Structure 1
Amino acid sequence: MQEAYIAIGTKFLLNGRAFQIVESPEKDIFLCEDLGFKHVKERFTRENILFHWQYGNLQFDVKGKNTKGEIIKSYEVNDIDALKEEEKKRAYFRYECIEPLIELEAKSLDKYIRARVDQLKEKHHHDAPSRASLYRWLKYYKDSAGDLRSLVSNYNACGPTTSTLEEEVYHIIVEKINMFTKREKYTARDIHDFVIVEVNNRNMSRDEKLKLPCEQTVRRFIKRLDGYEMEKQRNGVQKARAKHKQTNLQEKPTFPLQRVEIDHTKSDLFVVDEERRLPLGRANLTTVLDVCTVYPLGYYFGFEPASYTADMHALTHAMFPKSYVKEIYPKIKNEWLAYGKPQTLVMDQGKDFTSKHMKDALFQLGITPMYCPGRSPWYKGSVERFFRTINTQFLHKIKGTTFSNILDKADYDPEKNAVITLKKLQELFHVWLIDYYTQLPRKNRLSPAMAWQEAYETMPAPALPSKAMDWKIPLMKLGNGTIQLYGIQNNFLVYQDPILMRIRKELSLKGVNSINYKYDPTNLGSIYVFDEWESNSYVEIKCTYQMYAKGLNEYTHKLIRKMIKEKGEKVSKISLAETKVYIQSLIDDEINLTKRERIQMQRVKGEGTNKLFNEETGDTHEFNEDLESLKEDLNLYRQTTFESDSQNDEEIVALQPKLLREEGLFFKNNTEDELWGTF
C-alpha cells in the first residue's frame, strides 16, 4: 500500500483544496502552496495535518498505475477485496511472479528476469508470463512504492470508451424500445426485429447505408430502462412493487516499526464492577510493541479473549496517532509518540493470528507476518519481557493483584482485596506507560521516548496512507452476500438502504448479484458496502432492527440466538428482544452470578479499551441503551395479543400492525414467519 511522508514536495487535498508542501521554516511547521491559486501559501503544523488526515478531511497524493485525478491523484480501487475474485487472483499472481525480484539491487536485471521466467514456466506452464510482462509489472509496483493496487489488471477497461453506434440508429432503437413497456409483452427479439426493419427501410433511400445493430445491443438498451417503471407498464403496479420495490426495514531491527511484536496475556490483577464493586476477574491484555525502541505502539485491555476482535482493537490503537491522550487525561505530562504501520509483525501460532481475517488484513496493509515456531516464546522475547515489566512494575503494586508467582501470593486474597475498576485501570496504565515507562532509561540504552525521538530526527516521521479508511477497512471483518429486495443479510440480521437497489441494478448489468462488504464485529448496527459507481468508496448500510443491533457485538448476538435455540423457539424479532432483556436482567443481578458468569456478562457488554479509544463516540453505545423502551414495547405487544377482554378483536387487529410498524417489526404483505424463516 502506497504511503506518504509529511515533507517538502508532498501534495494533499484538504476539504477540496489542493496543497503542496514547499517549505519547512522550522521543525513540524510547513508552508503549503495552494495549487489553485499561484503564490498563495498557508501555514500548517504537523499536528494540524495529522488531525485532518485522521478525521478523513485530508487525502495525500499517490503515484503509479490505476490512479485518477488531475492534480491530486487517488487509486481507482480503494480496497482489493472490493474486486471480483478473478481480478484479485490475477493481482496476487502478478505479485507472486515479481516478489523475488523486488529487493534485488543489480546493474542489470535481465539474467534474473530470464531465470524467473524459466521458474514460472516449470510451475505454471502455459500461464507463465513473458519477460516483458515481468519488467512491466515490476515497474508498476516500484513506481507506486510497493502498492498492490498497481498490479490490478485493466482488462475490464479495454475496448472503446464511447458508443460506436450511429446516432440515427440510436434514435431508432430508443423509439422502438418503447414498445417493450406495453402490455402486449413484446420480447427483446421482437424489438430487435422492428429495429432491423426500420433501419433497412431507411437504407433503401440512402447511399451511405446504416449499420444494422445486433440483438445484444438492443438487449443492453432494455437493461438500462428503469426496472420498476418498465414492470409497472407491462404487468401493473402490484407486480412491479413485488419485484423491484424494497421491503421496509530474529534480527535486531535498526529502525522503528521494522519489527513489531504482538501477544496476549491475562493480567495479574482482579478488577471490579463499576456500580456494585463486585470482583469480575482478570482482564485480558493484548500488546503491540516496537522492538527497536521498546516503545509500546498500542494495546487492548478488556474481557474479549484471545481472538481476532482483540487483535483488531490492539492494531487499530497501535497504528493511529494517540491524539485522545491530552483530551481524556489532561494531567499526563508527556505525549504518546509511537504510531505507524509495522513493517513486520511477529506472532505466535495462535488461532487468531493464523486466521483468514488476520492474514488478509496484513496482506492488504502490506505488513509481513512472521510466525514463531510452536512453544518458542523467546522468538518474541521483547513483548514477553514487556508483559513481565507491566506485572512487576505496575500491576503488582495495585490492590487485587494475583502476583505471577504463587509463592509471592502467600495468604493474600486478590479477590477480597480487589478495588480497581477497568476504567480506572486504563487511566493508571496510561499515566504509568507515558510518564514513567517510556521516560525511564535502560541499562546502556536510551529511554523508549528518547530512542523514538532520536530515530526520527534523521528520518521522516511514520508514513500515513492517503486516507484514514485505508487502514480501518482492512482491519474489519470481510463478508459476502447477495443483495435481495429486503437488503443484505449478515449474521442473520438484515441491512438495508436505498442505495443497495441502485448497486443491485448495476451488478445485474454485469450479470452478478454477489457483493463483498466489511463489518465491525463489535457493532452489528452497520455494514460497509463498496460503491464503485458513484462515490467510489464504502457506504454505511444500517441494520433494519437498530434497537437490537446498534452497539451489539457478535458474541452477544450468537449467545442470544443460542439461548433461543435451546428453548426450542423460532427466532423472531420478538424472541430476540425478549432474550436481550433477559440477558440484561442477568447483568443487573450480577451479585448472584459466579465469577466466570460475571466475566461473560462483561464480554456481553463489550467492556474494553476500544470504547475509550473510539474516535466516533456516536458509534459507542451501552448495552442497555433504550432497554427500558424495548421492555415497554414488548409489554404493550403482549397486552394487545393476550388481553382481549379489555379490547374487542377489531381494536387489537388495528393496534398490533401500528405498534409493530413503529418498531420496524411489521411489514405489509409479509408474515413474521416469512421474514424470519431464514433463522
Structure 2
Amino acid sequence: MIFNYEPTDTFLIYGEAHWCSYQTDTLCIFEPKEKGAGPPKTFSRKEIGFLRGSNHWRYVPGPRTYERLKKAAKLGSKALQDAHSEDQDAALFAYMECMNLEAFRNAGAVSLTLKSLTSKWTEIVGAFLEQEATRNLGNGPRRGGSKLPEQRKPHAASTLLKLYRRLRQSNYDPGVLVPHYRTGKERSLGFCDQTEDFIRRFVKASINREDPYANAIAKDTRDALVAENERRSKNEEKLLGVPSVRTIERRIEWLDPFEVAVLRHGIDKARMDHAVSSGGLDLLYPLERVEIDEWEGDVRVKFKQLGIWDSLPQDIRNDVPDGRKWIYVAIDCATRCILAMSVCSQPNSDAARRILGQIVKDKTDLARLAGAEGTWDFFGTPHLICTDTGSAFRSNMFILAVNTLGSIILFPPVKIPELRSRVERLFGTMARIIMPLLPGRTFSNPMARGDYPSEERTVLTDDDLTRILTIWVVDHYHQQPHRGLPGAQSPASRWKELVNKYDVTEPPDLNTRRVALGYEYIRTPSKQGVVLFSNHYDCKELMKYRQAHKGKPLRIRIDPDNIGAVSVEIGRVWHQANALNGEEIEGLSMDHWTRVVRELRQRNSAEAELTLAQRNRAIQKVRKIVADARDLGGLVDPEYTAERLDYLATNLCAGLIFNHPDTPPVSDEDVPFGRKIEPIFPTEPDIHSPVTEQIQPNSGDDEEWKLEE
C-alpha cells in the first residue's frame, strides 16, 4: 500500500517529529521539524510498513490531508460529466485557455502575474483563437465557403489567471471550471400554479384505487376542473385552466413511480418493488463507507480454545462440544474489498471492537500464516462506518472506539437491508459458495437441511474455519470479477485503481489505536513507572507526573495484540509509555505473554522475583513454538474481555516481578529500527542480588505499597 503524504503531516519516528520532504513509489525522505535535531531519514516503503506496525511510529495527519480527500470527493471527474452540455462547453473552453497559458509559461514567455499577462496578451489570445478554430473544426466542413463553428469570447487576463490557479490546485481536473450557475430558464408548464396544484392533488387522491387506467383518472380530473370552475364562477373567483385529457395524462406520466406505488400498494410493497438491486450509493474513493455486520455461519465447528487443542488426547477431542460460530466482516463499499474478518463464539462488543483494529492494519502476514498466496493490504482510516442496531455496535465501547480512530458511525434504519447491501450480499455469497464445501453444514432452514447429519460430520475447528475463510477471501474473492463493480472488475483491481485516483488516509498510529481499542486500568506510578501484567512501563511525561502528583493514580490502556507499550492519560492527553528493557516484548501479544508467565511459574514456582534473562529466554522459547504452530491469533478471536484480563492480572501475574538493571540499554543510532539487542547467555538467578526499591514495602517513597506494584 502506497500512501501520499502532505508537508503538513507530522511523523513521530522514534520519538522525534519529522515531515516528509520527498517521496516516490519506493521510498520517502523524512526531515526533522526542529532545526539541528539530526540528519534526514530515508526509509523504503517496506521499512515504513514495518515501522507502522511498531510503537516507534506515530502519524498525525495535517489539515491538507483531509481537504484533499474532500476536494477529490466533491470535485471529481463526474463534476464535468454530469454538468449541462452548455456548462461542459464553457468548462472545456476555459480549460483550453488555461492550457494555452501554461504553454506560454513553460516556454518562459510569461509569468503568473497580471502585468506579465497584459504585456503578452495579444500573442496569448491570438495563439489560443488559432488553436480553437482547428480544435472545433474536427471532421466538419473542408470546402471553401462552408460555415465554421461559432467561437466563444476569451476571458479577460485577470479572470484567466484565477481560472488557471484554480485548475492547478485541483491537479488539472477540468471539472473545477464548471460554472456554478445556470443561465437557461425552465420551460413553463403552460398553466397557472393553482391549476397545476389542483391537478396534482386530485390525481394523487384518485390513484389509490385498484389499478385505475391513466385515461380514466385524466377524465375524472378534467371533470373535477370543470366542476371547480362552475363553483368559482358562482362565487366570482378566478377560474382555473382546463387542459385536455391527453395533457393530464402526461402530468400523470411525470409522477414519481415510487410515489405512485406507495399510494397504490403501501410503503413496504413499494420499497421491495423499487429497491436498488445493483450500484446503490454513489461512492468515489476507498474507505469512504465501510459496512460491518455479524453472521452466524451455516456450519458447525469444535469449540476449541487457541493453544489448547493440540495438547488434548484424541478421546477428549471427540467429546468437545460443537456448535455454530459467528463471523464478523467489514467490507469497503466502493471496492467490495473485505477489510476485516474474525470468527468468535458469540457476538459481543469486544469482538466488534477488535474488527476495527483489523481495518486499520495490514493483514498480509496473517493471510500468509493461513496459507494464502496473495496479499491482504487493504487498510487505512475509514471515513464512515455503517452497522446495524445490534447490541455489539451500539455499546459505548464501540462508538467511542470509532470516534477515537477519527471515523463517523451511522446506523441505517431497520427493515431496509439495501442500506447495508454490500455486507448482506457478501454473507449470501459465503453461504452459497463456500459453506456447501464444508463438512458439518447446518443450512439456512430445516427444510433445506433435510436429513443431513450436521452433528456427526462436525470435524472442523475454529482455526480450520478461519484458515478456509481467509484463503477464500484473499486468493479467490478479491481476485474474481465482481458484477457489482464497473466493468466487472475484481475487488483488488478496483481498490488499486481508486487508490491511485483518490488516495487513502493513512491509518492511525499504535498509540491512537491503543487508546481507541485498548483495555483500561487504573494504576499508581512508582519509581519505575507503572506495572501491568508484571511489566514496567515508563516515559518522561510519566516521570514528571509522579513528581508533581505523588501517589495519585491515573488511567492506562493496553492493547492485547502488542504489550510492548501502554498509553497513559496525563492532563487529558494520552502519552505512550514503553516497557523498560522491553525489546523482547515489543510486538508480543497478550496470549503469548500468558504462555511466557505460565512457563516461568512452572519452572520458578517458589520465586517472586526473576531476572530479565530468564524472562527473555522464556519469550524466545514461546516465539519459536508459535512460529512452528503458525498461530492465527489475529484472525481467530482470542475472546478477550475486560473481566478475563483482570483475572490474568490478579491471578497469573500477581506477585511476579522482574529485576530491572539500574541503567537500561541506550538506543544505537547505527541501527535503523528498534534497539540493539546484545546476546543473552543462560545464567542462574543470583539469590544474593539486592531487591529493587519498587518491591520494598518499607521504602520511604512508596508508603502505600501494593502487591500489584
- Per the normalisation by structure 1, the TM-score is 0.46
- Per the normalisation by structure 2, the TM-score is 0.45
